[in-house]
Amino acid sequence: MPIFKPTYNIDGDVTDIDIKVLENAGVKGIIFDLDSTLIASKSGELTQEVADWLEKARHKFRMVVVSNNKRHEYLEKVREVLAMPVIGFAWKPSRKAFCHALNMLGLKAEETVVVGDRPLTDIWGGQRCGMRTVLVRPLKTIVEPSWKTFFRELERVLIQK
């Protein structure tokens, strides 16, 4: 598979991932990116739509968050809000945090997917550890500056090549 090209490319946010598709593909665990994937960046707040999707996913998968965020207080708050382990200071796309997450889940790479909104950090990092990957768009509730949207779209164009 070409570098940065996700296994699954979702034209929507995390709530548009079909849980049944992952389950039928043998997925037992999910490693999530945090900001813009599960919650609005630096907000620490979960939307009801994401909370509902996560509740359904909890019945099928073991889950953990891997984030590049370095703020201890924020990461602690997010652990409580999400009710799942959160690994911060990840330095994605470094393999270290992804391998640590696999150990926490007690799963093999082929049983796990990485879900994130950035090809150069989330998707590449998951690929470097031999995991399948799911590229999503930022949460529907997020309104980003136009420059950020431009670079996200540029990344998506580049991974299609």
Q: Provide the pLDDT for residue 12.
A: 95
Residue 157's identity, in one-letter code, is V
If pLDDT is split at 50, 70 and 90, which confidence band does 96 have? very high
pTM of the model: 0.92
Q: Provide the pLDDT for residue 2.
A: 62
Distance between CA atoms of residues 57 and 161, nearest Å: 32
Distance between CA atoms of residues 65 and 83, nearest Å: 10
Task: Characterize 132-147 residue by residue with b for buried, 16 or more Cβ atoms within 10 angstroms of its Cβ, and e for exposed.
Answer: bbbbbbbbeebeeeee
pLDDT at 103 over 90: yes
Q: Provide the pLDDT for residue 91.
A: 96
pLDDT at 79 over 70: yes
pLDDT at 161 over 80: no
Q: What digits encode the pLDDT tens for the residues 25-36?
A: 999 999 999 999
If pLDDT is split at 50, 70 and 90, which confidence band does 151 have? confident
Q: What digits encode the pLDDT tens for the residues 128-144?
A: 999 999 999 999 887 77
- DSSP symbol at 92: T
Reduce the DSSP state of residue 48 to 3 states and report it.
Answer: helix
Q: Are 124 and 4 in contact, with CB atoms under 8 Å apart?
A: yes
Q: Provide the pLDDT for residue 160.
A: 66
Instruction: Please tell me the total number of residues recorded for the chain in this structure.
Output: 161
